[in-house]
Structure 1
Amino acid sequence: MLEFRVLGPVEVRIDGRLVDAGPPRQRGVLAALAVDAGRPVQMDTLIDRVWGDSPPQRARHTLQVHLSRLRRVLEPPEGGAGRDADATGSGAGRDAAGGEARLVRRSGGYLLDVDPDRVDLLRFRGLLDQARDRQQPAMRQATLLRQALDLWQGVPLADLPGDWAARVREACHQQRRDALVDWAAAELRRGNPAAVLAPLAEAVAEYPLAEPVVAVLMRALSALGRDAEALDRYAAVRTRLADQLGADPGAELRAAYQAALRGGPATDRRGEPERQGQHGPQGRHQPVPAQLPLDIPGFLGRDEELDRLDAVLRAGAARPTAVTVCVLSGTAGVGKTTLAVHWAHRVRDRFPDGQLYVNLRGFDPTGTAVSSGDAVRAFLAALGVAPHRVPDDPSARTALYRSLLAGRRVLVVLDNARDAEQVRPLLPGSPDCLVLVTSRNQLTSLVAGEGAHPVRLDLLTDDDARGLLAARIGADRAAAEPAAVREIVAACARLPLALAILAARAATNPRLPLRVLAAELRDARGGLDAWHGGDRATDLRAVFSRSEHALSPAAARLFRLLGLYAGPDIGLPAAASLAGVSSARVRPLLAELTDAHLLDEHEPRRYTFHDLLRAFAAELGDTDVPGPDRESAVRRLLDHYLHTGHAAAMLLHPHADPLPLAAPEPGVTPEELGDREQALAWFAAEQRTLLAAVDRAGDAGLDTHVWQLVSTNATYVDRGGRWQEWLPVQEAALAAARRSADPAGEARTRRLLGLGQARLRRHDEARAQYQHALALFGDLGDHAGQAHTHLSISWSYGRQGRHADGLGHAEAALAAYRSAGNKAGQADALNAIGWRYAQLGDHEQSLTYCRQALDLHQATGHRQGEAATLDSLGYAHHHLGQYEQAADCYRRALELFRQAGDRMHEAELLVHLGDTHAAAGDVDAAARQWRAAVGILDDLDDPDADVVRAKLDGLGRH
């Protein structure tokens, strides 16, 4: 018999004999398929599971090689494995496996076609599902659970590295703990407490903070009359909880303690755990987010589904060690979000520590789904975490999110999820939380892997559909034309979205007979093909068309043009440029679309579609807008983002070389940004939109727009540390610049790509790009471009501690800047030379160059450059023992950074100033500066605050 084992090392066995499944990566591929045996796994998901964030360059090819080898293991050619297979001992296994398991190609992925009972993890979960039937006798439950526990052979996926394997291990261990507790409880119910003592004692040693395990062990000890031992167990775990978590025992453990005190039976796992307060373990106040969208007034129906959601909430109390997850699934427009938000409002008092909500946009037609990393980042912000304190590593970010929710009762609503992989990083670890997911997919792997509760949302009943329509248009009006109401409900297929749109038209036209609407629906044909309900009389395109036809001509034109746009949302000024009108003229058109429920103003002056409406608008844009008009509209929109982005970039870096932009299309009105803060806010709001704009420009063959859009975003990306996300976009920009045969654009793009690679410490790749850029700038005679590139190379060498190499390029940058007559660049280069000399220990030379840099910065009015140079001067003076001069430079730089509102650099300067005071022997002055720095760093939640505290502690010891 064939067996796949993952509850231990990954193995394939035939009749108990081990079959060679290949090297670790190949076994990783097998495990990635086996845990979802019987269900297709997408190629991208397989790659992520096997290699995580570091796939090889030809990951798909390598994966295909592993799959081919696995197929030979599982499906040998006819005629047997041959002499070599017999010699290795694996041939018999291959022959036996041939008829029991197959690797099957599915659209975009692969499926391991095998009986789930042949995979130990799936058999384990199947036995748990059978045992959950509370109607079964305790003996039967205990037997099933014991069989499940006996399948374990050690640490799951023990020989596999990576985040995915770690997540699976974590989930498996949680399920094993739950199964062990359930098995012990079943044995206690059948009067067999002695049988559970040894396994539970081992489990307590393995999981010393798992309260349900300790609680059931205490109950077993009490059942045997060993109450004193039970009380000792309680005292030990209470001490561990206090010391390690700063927490008190939960309700179930306290119940077992009370039972041991009085010598009576304790309550079982079904008691509801007591929640913690709104303060963390150290007593620090934690924000209470309340992110639920508005509930729908007059919500009707869905009683059965609401009861099922209530049952999920109650079931969570019976699983005090596992977070409760519910998946609400159904077709688009069926009302998943409406129901989820309504139910969340009904039960939010059960979650006093907060409610988190995110629209994951998993089925956005543009493919611009919200990444798990961005969603976790947003949740951390809602929980009070400062942006710079959010880890860059996705795993660390998720770990921080789960730590903040530990012990808190929070409701998490994940709306419009694409798949289980998008959801998993957003699941808390706290059993006091509940997660409600909505999706068009059933997310069966989430049900199988995380024990999620599936709730399917179907079409409305006839009564509920008629009730919804009556509530929107008025009960009297609906009662006056019951036949028309029935026909409208049938034509809308009892789909809430279709009903709501049609009801909006009826409500805004109170004199229009309902029978006229019914006749229009009956006569209309051709609805949205992708959303056809199976009945030719129910056509969503007809529903949307009727609302669209009721618009004014200008609003209808804007609706069609919005369908040409691929971004996740659009701001009012961008919509104006898309339409080629002023903001004043587009504002009432947007209001008309929102009033007609054809557009949603999800943030002030920012608009988005429901995805069905987006598909409808896109079809109209393709069919009803003439080709030249479509091309002009797309170019206007791209010009809007390009010219506004360029203006924003120049505000962030006034001394940068401007791009040689072509004049914008007629009708484009770039946004007016007054200062650096507005520029930063614009870039922050438009990041996902700019990514979509780059893609749209590529699709339209506008290569110059591609590389220039990416270039305008470079300064913001660099200051925000977003190179990991934007580096592939930079590579696409380089390809576009090369296609456009624009050597200046290619040179600039290569330099920016090199900057991103250097930021990510890929210095060899970066310098290769820099060398290409230098050659191109040289061919063009662009001295400033060469200078910028030399300065970038110098900085890259400095990042590696190669200051002598960096010095040569800083000097070359200075010469090129002088040839270009670029005073601001000369100042930057002089400061870079001075800093390199300081790092090489020649502080006198450092002073010479930095003083020249300071004069030029002051002459050009480059305040940030002046402050940075003063910092360099202070460093050189300090290391020459000239503490008074150093302190003076640091104070002047400090004032400039304060004027700029740059608190991070202000804190750094305070630390430097304190260092100088300490070196000069003025420990009181040093302490004042360091304390001020700690105050700022604490306010910014910067970990360097502890480094400065260590300096203060050092003063105290001396």
Structure 2
Amino acid sequence: MSEVGGNAQQASAWFADELRRLRQLSGAPSLNTLVAISTAQGQPLARSTISDKLNAKSLPDWPFVVAFVKACVAHAGRAGVRLPAELTEMRHWDARHWRLLRIADAAHTEDRLRASAHAQIGRRSGGAPPASRPEPPVPGPSPTGQGAGTLDRVTPRQLPAAVPHFVGRRAALAALDALLAHRRHRAPGTTMVCLISGTAGVGKTSLAVGWAHQAADRFPDGQLYVNLRGFDATGPAASPAEVLREFLEALGVPAQRVPAGQDARSGLYRSVLTGRRVLVLLDNASDVDQVRPLLPGSPECLVVVTSRGHLAGLVTIEGAIPLLLDPLPRREAHELLSRRLGTDRLENEPEATNRIVDAAAGLPLALAIVAGRAAVQPALGLGRLADELTGSDGLDRFSHEDAATDVRTVFSWSYRNLDATSARAFRLLGLHPGPDVSVPALASLVGAPVAEAGRTLAALVRANLLSEHLPQRYVLHDLLRAYAAELVAEHEPEQARRQALGRLIDSYLHTGYAADLLLYDQRDPISPAPARPGTAITALIDRAAAWRWFTGEHRVLLTVIGLATDARFDTPAWQLAWVVNTYLDRLGAWQEQLMVQEWALLAASRVADRDGQARAHRNRAVACLRLGDHHQARVHLRRSLRLYAGLGDAIGSARAHLNLGILAERLGRYEQALQHAQQALDLFTAAENPNGRANALNNIGWYHSQLGNHRQAIDYCTRALVLQRQVGNRYWQAHTWDSLGYAHHRLEQQAEAIRCYRNALALWREAAERYYEATTLTHLGDSHRAAGAPGPARRAWRRALKILEPLGHPDAEQLRDRLRGGALPVS
């Protein structure tokens, strides 16, 4: 054994000792106890997996470490045991886990080199090369979702455009340059972090973005950027979980494979960035908790954070290098104005120039807006600008002690210079919850045609009151958003504000409803009220366009549902939550699904809308089923069923029974599941609903298979398939093909089973239904193995595992058992 290989084994044994030590100090919980605690915490561990990792039989992955540590800490808390502080902190485990992985990677590299050398010797001697261990895949799924290949290298280039008239900041730029040299000396498992802090408008983002462009060639694997909106006065800050989703997608991880939980996303993010030289720019952070999950933990990367706060914890714990940015000195403020307006103009009015520089208090944002106004109005003398600036009162007067007030004053100049249409549009943007605004959204706010709204947005961009961060998508600087919110509250009557909000919500509701029906046209319809006059509704022509719309508006839809709930637009609120349910479910965003359905329940309850409550309870139950929370799923399904029964809604009751059947199946109660499916069939039949009837027939067939009645299963499922083809329900045809495949598999008719599974897979991919694609791939692998084809079986199981692991789904453990050579389950 080589020295490196020995070190890898020693490191694995050492890490297992650390895990066993934690378990012992936590009160020595049994494996079954750890399984129960981890399941209750939403990060279920299998007993066999814990045993495997504690005995150092295989390297533990990061999600396992997180779940195991949290379970031990929870047990210690229950037992009244006090653990050493370091053992309860994930950064302690993170550093040690990275050390283990790096040693293991070194051993893998040596193995590959040795195998290559042996292969060369074998070829020279005419013999066969010796067998070697296959190279492990790069962490993360392939973007195509096909096979067990490595993750394609995607190089993100997310930096926004740099400020064209950036001046000064020489000391700060030199300090940032010095980070590049120090980065090479970082310890394994750590990342160089720089914190740029300072008051609002002082130019933190301009400095960070400008330097990042200069240093981009030092980070050949890409640059990631996000505005964390930490000080957005009118909307929520960006959640680390959501940012991680966006970063992972930018790095090549398909949206459907991004894990549901924040810890799992953070672990995958660190894995994808291992060995890559990436610059991460986290702009406008509110606190340390918003930043920590976004730190890569790799010395090849560099993180630059900007914040108005000092974030002392980031400096103390993570060792961030602080860089405090002061207002520009007078010389650099003059230079900024000179670059924008020309030296001659400033020299012609030196006294006015000095008054402007003094009044702007060295804030680059204020100076840029003043220069912008002077540039577009060359006939306007600087003396007049200085008089307006220094002569204003109240909100329109600079206060040297309050930088936020200074910026508002400068904003007021740009605002007053707008035409009436653009000024009203800017005010109404203060009602939009963000994080960004589309053209139809502004058109709906102002009640104007889309083309006119596009021209208005362009005017606001030219006035430096808005920026177009993506094509046709616009963002307000957080202070500008706060200023717009103040203006709309001051100048727009309450009734006008409410009408504008109503049009905005209607725009998302009616466009989203059309998009949802394109994704799944067999859903039981809802009846939104007609859109208010002046609402802009986007026309979507096909499923691909619908999916793109949902993807582009994903974050906005969540904030709009929250806004509608808070503003007491209760019926549109629960209907909009219903509209996004299919998209969130297929995406695997089940935690978000839970959140919006909670809002839907609140909104529907306030207006005593029993249909809305019934739908929200059932949709919430579906998310609970996906996440393995069977108790809450039962609670919400029973409430839904009672509401549907009280309404006399046979179809709604039938759908609740179908879900109760799925819940019973998950709990291994197949007879009970069959009874629920039969009740659903009777209700659908009485309601003359052929689509529902077909779905119930398939479920009955599936449960017969679970009970061993495979001939009956084929009969029911064949009847279901005929009906589904008649009504054109391709989504449920996929379910039925999977059920038929399973029945033929159990009857040892593997060729027919494989044909059925392939039909199902084609339909799942058409529907972008990742979870059920994994289920069918698992079944396909089982049939291949039963047919004596272990190679295709393992390929199918690996493809299924690549889908389930990022989703954090407990079914992944069964696939690992298959791939380790464990026995197939009976059903």
Question: Which category describes the TM-score, using the shorter chain as reference length?
Answer: 0.7 to 0.9
Change (3 A) 1:900 1:419: closer
* CA distance in structure 2 between the aligned counterparts of 1:602 and 1:746, rounded to whole angstroms: 38
Q: Which residue in 2 is equivalent to 1:251? A: none
Deviation at 1:937, TM superposition (A): 6.6
**Structural mapping, 1:522-561, within 5 Å:** 522-527=390-395, 532-534=399-401, 539-561=406-428
* Alignment equivalent of 1:301, drawn from 155, 168, 171: 168
Deviates more, 1:823-832 or 1:844-853: 844-853
* CA distance in structure 1 between the aligned counterparts of 2:327 and 2:178, rounded to whole angstroms: 21
Letter matched to residue 436 of structure 2: D
Superposed CA RMSD: 3.9
Q: Which residue in 1 is equivalent to 2:544? A: 677
* Alignment equivalent of 1:617, drawn from 479, 484, 487: 484
CA contact under 8 A between 1:554 and 1:589: conserved in structure 2? yes
* CA distance in structure 1 between the aligned counterparts of 2:73 and 2:766, rounded to whole angstroms: 46
* Alignment equivalent of 2:317, drawn from 449, 455, 474: 449
Change (3 A) 1:293 1:892: closer
**Structural mapping, 1:592-631, within 5 Å:** 592-631=459-498
Q: Which residue in 2 is equivalent to 1:379? A: 247
Q: Do structure 1's residue 788 and structure 2's residue 652 form an aligned pair?
A: no
Change (3 A) 1:386 1:703: closer
Q: Which residue in 2 is equivalent to 1:860? A: 727
* Alignment equivalent of 1:741, drawn from 585, 608, 613: 608
* Alignment equivalent of 1:482, drawn from 340, 343, 350: 350
Q: Do structure 1's residue 341 and structure 2's residue 209 form an aligned pair?
A: yes
Q: Which residue in 2 is equivalent to 1:715? A: 582
User: Which blocks of at least 5 consecutive residues in structure 2 are unaligned?
Assistant: 1-20, 23-65, 113-137, 141-148, 807-811, 823-827
CA contact under 8 A between 1:323 and 1:428: conserved in structure 2? yes
* Alignment equivalent of 1:402, drawn from 241, 262, 270: 270
User: Which blocks of at least 5 consecutive residues in structure 1 are unaligned?
Assistant: 1-7, 10-47, 57-61, 67-153, 175-205, 211-236, 249-278
Deviation at 1:891, TM superposition (A): 5.5
Q: Which residue in 2 is equivalent to 1:243? A: 107
Deviation at 1:832, TM superposition (A): 0.7
User: What SS does the corresponding residue of 1:622 show, helix, strand or coil?
Assistant: helix
CA contact under 8 A between 1:525 and 1:539: conserved in structure 2? no
Deviations 1:81-125 (A, max 9, x none): xxxxxxxxxxxxxxxxxxxxxxxxxxxxxxxxxxxxxxxxxxxxx
Q: Which residue in 2 is equivalent to 1:332? A: 200
Change (3 A) 1:885 1:168: closer
CA contact under 8 A between 1:386 and 1:940: conserved in structure 2? no
* Alignment equivalent of 1:413, drawn from 281, 285, 289: 281
Q: What's the TM-score, normalizing by structure 2?
A: 0.78
* CA distance in structure 2 between the aligned counterparts of 1:732 and 1:494, rounded to whole angstroms: 45
Letter matched to residue 624 of structure 1: H
* CA distance in structure 1 between the aligned counterparts of 2:325 and 2:168, rounded to whole angstroms: 12
User: What SS does the corresponding residue of 1:438 show, helix, strand or coil?
Assistant: strand
Letter matched to residue 384 of structure 2: V
Deviation at 1:402, TM superposition (A): 2.3
**Structure of greater Rg:** 1
Q: Which residue in 1 is equivalent to 2:639? A: 772
Deviates more, 1:929-938 or 1:813-822: 929-938
**Structural mapping, 1:261-276, within 5 Å:** none
CA contact under 8 A between 1:328 and 1:436: conserved in structure 2? yes
* Alignment equivalent of 1:434, drawn from 299, 302, 324: 302
* Alignment equivalent of 2:91, drawn from 144, 167, 185: 167
* CA distance in structure 1 between the aligned counterparts of 2:105 and 2:618, rounded to whole angstroms: 54
Change (3 A) 1:242 1:692: closer
**Structural mapping, 1:459-858, within 5 Å:** 459-527=327-395, 532-534=399-401, 539-858=406-725
Deviations 1:245-300 (A, max 9, x none): 6699xxxxxxxxxxxxxxxxxxxxxxxxxxxxxx9999987443332222222421
CA contact under 8 A between 2:781 and 2:797: conserved in structure 1? no
* CA distance in structure 1 between the aligned counterparts of 2:73 and 2:805, rounded to whole angstroms: 32
Deviations 1:287-338 (A, max 9, x none): 4333222222242111122223233444445545543211100011110010
Tell me which of the two structures has the higher relative contact order, counting C-alpha pairs closer than 8 angstroms and 6 or more residues apart.
2
User: What SS does the corresponding residue of 2:276 show, helix, strand or coil?
Assistant: coil
Deviation at 1:728, TM superposition (A): 3.2
User: What SS does the corresponding residue of 1:358 show, helix, strand or coil?
Assistant: strand
Deviation at 1:946, TM superposition (A): 12
Change (3 A) 1:542 1:896: closer
User: What SS does the corresponding residue of 2:267 show, helix, strand or coil?
Assistant: helix
Letter matched to residue 704 of structure 1: T
* CA distance in structure 2 between the aligned counterparts of 1:904 and 1:768, rounded to whole angstroms: 23
Letter matched to residue 749 of structure 1: A
Letter matched to residue 846 of structure 1: A
Letter matched to residue 877 of structure 1: H
Q: Do structure 1's residue 292 and structure 2's residue 156 form an aligned pair?
A: no
Letter matched to residue 765 of structure 1: Q
User: What SS does the corresponding residue of 1:677 show, helix, strand or coil?
Assistant: helix
How high is the sequence identity, in percent, across the aligned residues?
47
Q: Which residue in 2 is equivalent to 1:227? A: none
Deviates more, 1:895-904 or 1:790-799: 895-904
CA contact under 8 A between 2:781 and 2:795: conserved in structure 1? no
* CA distance in structure 1 between the aligned counterparts of 2:771 and 2:620, rounded to whole angstroms: 27
CA contact under 8 A between 1:155 and 1:169: conserved in structure 2? no
Letter matched to residue 557 of structure 1: R
Deviations 1:674-701 (A, max 9, x none): 1222222222222221221122222322
* CA distance in structure 2 between the aligned counterparts of 1:849 and 1:383, rounded to whole angstroms: 45
Deviation at 1:930, TM superposition (A): 5.1
* CA distance in structure 2 between the aligned counterparts of 1:939 and 1:517, rounded to whole angstroms: 62
Change (3 A) 1:891 1:342: closer
Deviation at 1:659, TM superposition (A): 1.1
* CA distance in structure 2 between the aligned counterparts of 1:408 and 1:294, rounded to whole angstroms: 24
Deviation at 1:586, TM superposition (A): 0.8
Deviation at 1:420, TM superposition (A): 1.1
Q: Which residue in 1 is equivalent to 2:120? A: none
CA contact under 8 A between 2:528 and 2:572: conserved in structure 1? no
Deviation at 1:702, TM superposition (A): 1.8
Change (3 A) 1:884 1:720: closer
* CA distance in structure 2 between the aligned counterparts of 1:476 and 1:927, rounded to whole angstroms: 80
Q: Which residue in 1 is equivalent to 2:237? A: 369
Deviation at 1:950, TM superposition (A): 7.3
Letter matched to residue 341 of structure 2: I
Change (3 A) 1:207 1:868: closer
Letter matched to residue 324 of structure 2: R
Change (3 A) 1:53 1:729: farther
Deviates more, 1:375-384 or 1:410-419: 375-384
* Alignment equivalent of 2:741, drawn from 865, 874, 879: 874
**Structural mapping, 1:40-119, within 5 Å:** none
User: What SS does the corresponding residue of 1:527 show, helix, strand or coil?
Assistant: helix
Change (3 A) 1:388 1:538: closer
Q: Do structure 1's residue 157 and structure 2's residue 85 form an aligned pair?
A: yes
Change (3 A) 1:824 1:207: closer
Deviations 1:702-721 (A, max 9, x none): 22122112111111121122
Deviates more, 1:617-626 or 1:769-778: 769-778
Letter matched to residue 362 of structure 2: R
Letter matched to residue 676 of structure 1: R
* CA distance in structure 2 between the aligned counterparts of 1:207 and 1:733, rounded to whole angstroms: 46
Change (3 A) 1:507 1:824: same
The number of residue pairs the alignment matches comes to 715
**Structural mapping, 1:160-239, within 5 Å:** 161=88, 165-167=89-91
Q: Which residue in 2 is equivalent to 1:106? A: none
* CA distance in structure 1 between the aligned counterparts of 2:396 and 2:790, rounded to whole angstroms: 70
CA contact under 8 A between 2:724 and 2:730: conserved in structure 1? yes
Q: Which residue in 1 is equivalent to 2:60? A: none
Q: What's the TM-score, normalizing by structure 1?
A: 0.68
CA contact under 8 A between 1:908 and 1:933: conserved in structure 2? no
CA contact under 8 A between 1:911 and 1:929: conserved in structure 2? no
Deviation at 1:932, TM superposition (A): 7.9
CA contact under 8 A between 2:219 and 2:279: conserved in structure 1? yes
CA contact under 8 A between 2:196 and 2:304: conserved in structure 1? yes
